[in-house]
Chain A
Amino acid sequence: MGLNFSLLIVAALILAVFLGVEALGLSFLFGVIIPYLAIATFIIGFILKVVKWAKAPVPFRITTTSGQQKSLPWIKDNKIDNPATTSWTMVRMALEVLFFRSLFKNTKAELVDGKKLTYQWEKWLWLAGLVFHWSFLIVVVRHFRLFLEPVPAFVTLIGKIDGFFMVDLQNVYITGVLLLAAVTFLFIRRVLIPQVRYISLAADYFPLFVIMGIATTGILMKYFYRVDVVSIKELTVGLFSFNPVIPEGVSVLFYIHLFLVCTLISYIPFSKLMHMGGIFLSPTRNMPNNSRAERHINPWNYPVKVHTYAEYEDEFRDKMRAAGLPLDRESSEAEAAATKE
């Protein structure tokens, strides 16, 4: 259901931009207005989402981590998995953000002979996820050769390394191929594993299809249906320098590519893709577990009006004495002080 729905939406988006540019000549809309709106939506939406999250208090350290907490000096603590200081927490966060350490601990649970529960080695999800995210990052950085004039040296360097392999007189960018392969693997995994398919929604398939669309149109433009790169760079440089122009001879394939990118980035703040910012706010990862060393007070605690037992006894002493109940004090503190004098 979610799968077909997402596929239909992506197909409709592609058709819309194709008809819009080819039949209606809306290249200014798809080449300038929508990209600006998408970037604004992305940046403003992202900030608002993070601010909204930051309004939720997260006072308590998560103590059930997978490592030994720092306690007595002769018990060896696990500094990365259960950090007690901010700097070790940053190490844990860095490993999480850069190498998906939690996902690396992923295992596969299976019933053998219908009754024995076994946990098996399962690194493919982690590997594909890592390849996907890193390839995507490198692909984005590489695109700055078409965004900036002059091109910064590090972009050129990354492009050179990425295009190390040459097929039929031209450099093939490894990350482009890996990106498409990894996203395809992640999609197939989602469809083929029944449990994963059961919990998959349109919100899971849609970004996968959009990213597949982006990668496919990119690869088509680069290797198969060649486009006029100089006109395209004129368009993108125009966008980034706020002198938007629509040059002649920009292929519709480019508009499809651009529109899918706009769809993806404007979709980020409203979707699961916010894990881009959300990972930094993971309560299980970003707080040092120092709850034995420091007292953390719930920030929404308000002053509670208490009635202590001593006050209670003061209030009901006569009645309690009359009923023969045991008393902590025979008379209130004030009376005791008065009698002494």
Chain B
Amino acid sequence: MMFNSRNIIIGLIIFVGIFTFPFVLSAGKANEAPKLSLDTPVINELGTEECLLDTEYMRSNHMQLLADWKVEVVRNGNRVFVNDEGREFNMSLQNTCLECHSNKEEFCDACHTYAEVDPNCWDCHVAPEVVK
């Protein structure tokens, strides 16, 4: 037998409600991570689809790479990035990254919206024009 069962039950219902609401909200929803589009004119012209570093590394660390580039370029005045294979690249978001990935909406924004991150790249940099 419970004492004050009315209050206890109300409290437990609130508890269960709070801790199951993510399950309730997601019930029956499909789980689809964004698929990144590599369908841009420049990438299509490349023989092999490869970034300056390997894809898995780039997926997790692109923001760190960009932050490091910013320090190299702005503070040290060095604009040359040498990748693992010894190839040289111009350290530039607009002229290197976005040269290939000119589809900001299907590339950058797809994940950033999904993971709810709001990078401040475009506060200063010019976003590529959407090619229609």
- Chain A contacts to B: CB under 8 angstroms: 39, 42-43, 46-47, 50-51, 54-58, 144-149, 151-152, 155-156, 159-160, 166, 168-170, 226-231, 233-234, 237-238, 240-243, 245, 247, 249, 251, 277, 280, 299
Contacts and interface: CB of A to CB of B under 8 A. Distances in A.
**For the side of the interface on B, what is the size category?**
35 or more
B127 interface: no
A277 B61 contact: no
B46 interface: no
B6 to A, nearest CB: 11
Interface stretch (B18-26, B37-45, B76-84): B18-26
A101 B15 CA distance: 23
B115 A242 contact: no
A155 B116 contact: yes
Contacts of B29: 149, 237, 241
Contact of B67 (A51, A168, A241, A280): A168
B74 to A, nearest CB: 11
- Most A CB contacts (10 A, CB to CB) among B2, B33, B67, B118 go to B33
Contact of B33 (A39, A54, A56, A230): A230
Contacts of A170: 63, 67
A228 B56 contact: yes
Contacts of B28: 241
B1 interface: yes
Nearest to B29: A241
Given A46-B15, A169-B63, 5 more contacts: A227-B60, A230-B114, A237-B31, A241-B26, A245-B31
B95 interface: no
Contacts of A50: 8, 11-12, 15
Contact of A55 (B3, B25, B56): B3
Given A156-B116, A230-B34, A169 B22 contact: no
Nearest to A248: B56
Contact of B2 (A42, A55, A226): A55
A287 to B, nearest CB: 10
Nearest to A243: B31
B27 interface: yes
Contacts of B56: 228, 249
26 contacts: A42-B19, A47-B12, A47-B16, A50-B12, A50-B15, A51-B12, A54-B3, A55-B1, A57-B3, A145-B115, A146-B116, A148-B26, A152-B25, A168-B67, A169-B63, A169-B66, A170-B67, A231-B59, A234-B31, A240-B23, A240-B26, A241-B23, A241-B26, A241-B28, A277-B15, A280-B11
